[in-house]
C-alpha cells in the first residue's frame, strides 16, 4: 500500500478542545442566543462527516464552514416557522432539508475587501498578519474587514 | 480554548445516542497522578500517565479505533471511578473490560494475556513471563511488549520485575511502579 503524506485525522475531541471556544464565539456572533444549539448541531454534523474526510488539512476552516452552514439552516428554519405563523397557510409543504444556501452564495454582496478578508481568515485559515499581507493593508485593517464581513453576514442571517 | 464542560457532555450524549462516537476520553485525578482514560464500547482501550503526551496517546486510538473520539467524564464511567477508587485503596479488585485494539502483535497479546495469571500482591519476572508463554530467552522482547502495554494498571505490567533485582522500567516512571506495588503490599528495595 502506498502511504500518502496526508496528515491523519486527529481525534475529534482535540479539535473541539483547540477550536471549541472560538467556534462558539463565532456562532454567538451569527445567531446570538441560539449559539449553543447551532454549535451543537454543527459539531454533530461535522462528527457524522468526519471519518469520510480524506485528510486532516484545514480542519479549522472546515469547522467554521460547518458552523456557518448550520447558522444559515437555523435562521432559515426560524424564518419559515415565522412565516407559517404569520401567513397561517394550512398546506405548508414539508421544507426541504436545505434550501441551497451555501457559504459562497451567502458571501455574494459583501463588499469585496471584506469578503476576501473573511475568506482568507476563515476558509484559508490564515492569521491576521498574513491576511493583511495578502490584502496589502495593516493587520488592524484586516481585522476590521473580517469583523465587517461577519457583521454583514449576521445582518443577512437575521 | 475548549468549550465548557456542560457543552462537551451535551455533545457526547448526543453523539452516543446517534452512534457517532468511536471512543470517549477524559483525565482522571488519582493517587498516582492524573490519568488519561480512553473507553470504547468494548472497554478501556488506553490509559496514559501524565508523563506521556496526551495527543500522542490518543493518536493511535484515532487511527485504529476511529477518529470520532470525544472528551466526556460521564461516558468513561464506571472505568474512571473504579480506577480512582482502586488507586485510593478503597477497593482491592480492579476488574474492568478492556479493548485491546491497540495491541497489534500476537506476541504482545500473549504477553499481556499471561499477565492476568499474576494476581494482585504478587510479582513475576520478565524471564518467567517469557517461559510461561513458551518463549524462554525472550525476556527482553517481553519487556518491550510490556513497555507498549496500552492499558497499564488494568493489565498489571507493574507486577513484572527484572530477575536481577530492582524495579526495572515502567512507562509511567519507576516511582509510579513502586507506588502501584506498595498499594498491593509489595515492597521492592
The per-residue pLDDT for range B25-51, each reduced to its tens digit, is: 999 999 999 999 999 999 999 999 988
d(CA B138, CA B116) in angstroms, rounded, equals 19
What are the helix (H) ranges across chain B?
Answer: 5-17, 54-64, 79-87, 106-115, 126-132, 139-147, 174-183
Domain containing B35 equals 5-87
Q: What is the CATH number of the domain that holds B42?
A: 3.30.160
Reply yes or no on domain A102-158 having CATH 3.40.718.10: no
Whether domain A9-97 has CATH 1.10.1740.10: the reply is: yes
| Residue B94 domain-assigned (yes or no) | no
State whether residue A105 is helix, strand or coil.
helix
> Can you tell me the ipTM of this complex?
0.90
- Respond yes or no: is residue B45 known to be catalytic: no
For residues B163 and B122, is the Cβ–Cβ distance under 8 A?
A: no
Closest CA to A151 of A108, A124, A114: A114
Q: How far apart are the first and last CA of chain B?
A: 44
pLDDT digits (tens, 9 = 90+) for A7-38: 889 999 999 999 999 999 999 988 878 999 99
C-alpha count within 13 angstroms, C-beta hemisphere, residue B119: 2
Query: Rounded mean pLDDT of B118-136?
Result: 94
Cα(A111)–Cα(A126) distance, rounded to whole angstroms? 20
Lowest mean pLDDT among A90-99, B20-29, B56-65: A90-99
pLDDT exceeds cutoff 50 at A92: no
Residue written as cell 443577512?
A156
How close is the nearest chain B Cα to the Cα of A85, in Å?
30
Between chain A and chain B, how many beta carbons pairs sit less than 8 Å apart?
74
Name every chain A residue with its beta carbon within 8 A of the beta carbon of B19: none
Beta-bridge partner residues of B47: B37
Choose the closest CB to B58 out of A14, A44, A47.
A14
Whether residues A10 and B10 touch (CB distance < 8 A) is answered with no
The count of domains in chain B is: 2
Domain boundary among B60, B87, B114: B87
Same domain? B78 vs B119: no
- Which residues of chain B does A14 touch, with a Cβ-Cβ cutoff of 8 Å? 55, 58
Q: Where are the domains positioned within chain A? A: 9-97, 102-158
Q: Chain B: nearest CA to A77, how far in angstroms?
A: 21
A36 neighbourhood in chain B, CB within 8 Å: 7
The whole-angstrom separation of Cα A119 and Cα B57 is 34
Amino acid at each position: 500500500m502506498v502511504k500518502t503524506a496526508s496528515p491523519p485525522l486527529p481525534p475529534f475531541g482535540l479539535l473541539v478542545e483547540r477550536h471549541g471556544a472560538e467556534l462558539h464565539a463565532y456562532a454567538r456572533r451569527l445567531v446570538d442566543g441560539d449559539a449553543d444549539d447551532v454549535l451543537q448541531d454543527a459539531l454533530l454534523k461535522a462528527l457524522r462527516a468526519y471519518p469520510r474526510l480524506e485528510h486532516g488539512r484545514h480542519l479549522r476552516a472546515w469547522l467554521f464552514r460547518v458552523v456557518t452552514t448550520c447558522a444559515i439552516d437555523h435562521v432559515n428554519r426560524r424564518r419559515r416557522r415565522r412565516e407559517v405563523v404569520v401567513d397561517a397557510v394550512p398546506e405548508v409543504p414539508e421544507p426541504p432539508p436545505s434550501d441551497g444556501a451555501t457559504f459562497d452564495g451567502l458571501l455574494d454582496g459583501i463588499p469585496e475587501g471584506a469578503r476576501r478578508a473573511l475568506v482568507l481568515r476563515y476558509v484559508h485559515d490564515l492569521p491576521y498578519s498574513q491576511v493583511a499581507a495578502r490584502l496589502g493593508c495593516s493587520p488592524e485593517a484586516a481585522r476590521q474587514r473580517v469583523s465587517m464581513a461577519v457583521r454583514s453576514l449576521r445582518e443577512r442571517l437575521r | 480554548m475548549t468549550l465548557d464542560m456542560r457543552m462537551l457532555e451535551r455533545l457526547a450524549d448526543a453523539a452516543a445516542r446517534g452512534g457517532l462516537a468511536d471512543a470517549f476520553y477524559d483525565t482522571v485525578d488519582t493517587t498516582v497522578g492524573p490519568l488519561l482514560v480512553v473507553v470504547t464500547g468494548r472497554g478501556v482501550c488506553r490509559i496514559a500517565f501524565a508523563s506521556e503526551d496526551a495527543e500522542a496517546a490518543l493518536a493511535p486510538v484515532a487511527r485504529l479505533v476511529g477518529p470520532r473520539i470525544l472528551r466526556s467524564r460521564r461516558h468513561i464511567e464506571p472505568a474512571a471511578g473504579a480506577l480512582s477508587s482502586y488507586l485510593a485503596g478503597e477497593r482491592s479488585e480492579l476488574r474492568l473490560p478492556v479493548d485491546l485494539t491497540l495491541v497489534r502483535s500476537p506476541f504482545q497479546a500473549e504477553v499481556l494475556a499471561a499477565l492476568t495469571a499474576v494476581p494482585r500482591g504478587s510479582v513475576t519476572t520478565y524471564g518467567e513471563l517469557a517461559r510461561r508463554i513458551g518463549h524462554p530467552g525472550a525476556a527482553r522482547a517481553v519487556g518491550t511488549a510490556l513497555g507498549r502495554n496500552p492499558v497499564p494498571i488494568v493489565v498489571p505490567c507493574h507486577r513484572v520485575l527484572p530477575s536481577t533485582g530492582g524495579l526495572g522500567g515502567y512507562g509511567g516512571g519507576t516511582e509510579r511502579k513502586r507506588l502501584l506495588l506498595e498499594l498491593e503490599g509489595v515492597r521492592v528495595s
